[in-house]
Amino acid sequence: MTAGPADTVRARVPAAALSPHHPMPDPARTVPQPMYFEAPEYYRPQPADPPAVFLAGGITGCSDWQAEAVKLLESDTEPLVILNPNREKFPSGDHLAAWEQVSWEQHHLHLADVTAFWFPASDPSVTVQPIAMFELGQALGENRPVVVGADPGYPREADVHMLCELARPGMPVYSYLEHVVHDVLTVTCAMR
């Protein structure tokens, strides 16, 4: 069999450079272990991995609630994979960074076993967290497992309650991040 054009390209380009979505595989993990992935680092699940939790919610113009959620999740005795879209240093001067960020978020939102949505208090003149609201509607519409909370100081708190009630009648919407994390731990415990 002769090599085609695609084989020629593969021979010249290292496998890890072909796509950020298809690099060389990670070494096999044989036991569940806690893992933390922050955008733009990609998580590649393996069969032995524990449940994955995506931290969805406001980033820009909000408190760093993700750091608190990570501490609470990591304090649990059972291992989890934590997927955090809130980068320590977002390259705001890079015009491709937004595309990379949204691509990372969409990829990992669909990998997660459960998504923790938190809408923190924010100044409505700065942000009402429209991307997080879109992602919540998307997750509810795709019937993905979610745990939702909205701080009473979030300007669109009533909309979060309404959206969840319309999509999943009776689903709780928590007012405290600690309650969201507690429910996430309950959901992931049931998955083991």
* CATH number of the domain residue 155 falls in: 3.40.50.450
Q: Is residue 47 part of a domain?
A: no
Q: Is residue 25 part of a domain?
A: no
Ranges assigned E (strand) in 62-168: 81-84, 114-119, 146-150
Q: Is residue 27 part of a domain?
A: no
Q: Is residue 128 part of a domain?
A: yes
Query: Of the ranges 85-89, 145-149, 155-159, which one carries the lowest mean pLDDT score?
Result: 85-89
Q: Is residue 8 part of a domain?
A: no
pLDDT of the residue at 90: 87
Q: Average pLDDT, stretch 17-40? A: 80
Phi and psi, residue 38, nearest 5°: -120, 135
Q: Is residue 168 part of a domain?
A: yes
Number of domains in the chain: 1
Q: Which amino acid is at 44?
A: R
- Is the pLDDT confidence value at 19 over 70? no
Give the structural domain span for 154. 32-40+54-88+95-191
Which residues lie closer than 8 Å to 8 by C-beta, 6 or more apart? Answer: none
Q: Is residue 100 part of a domain?
A: yes
The band of 56, judged by pLDDT with boundaries at 50, 70 and 90, is: very high
Q: Is residue 2 part of a domain?
A: no
The whole-angstrom separation of Cα 79 and Cα 188 is 10
Q: Average pLDDT, stretch 34-44? A: 96
The band of 22, judged by pLDDT with boundaries at 50, 70 and 90, is: low
Full-model pTM: 0.85
Coil vs helix vs strand at 148 = strand
pLDDT of the residue at 5: 44
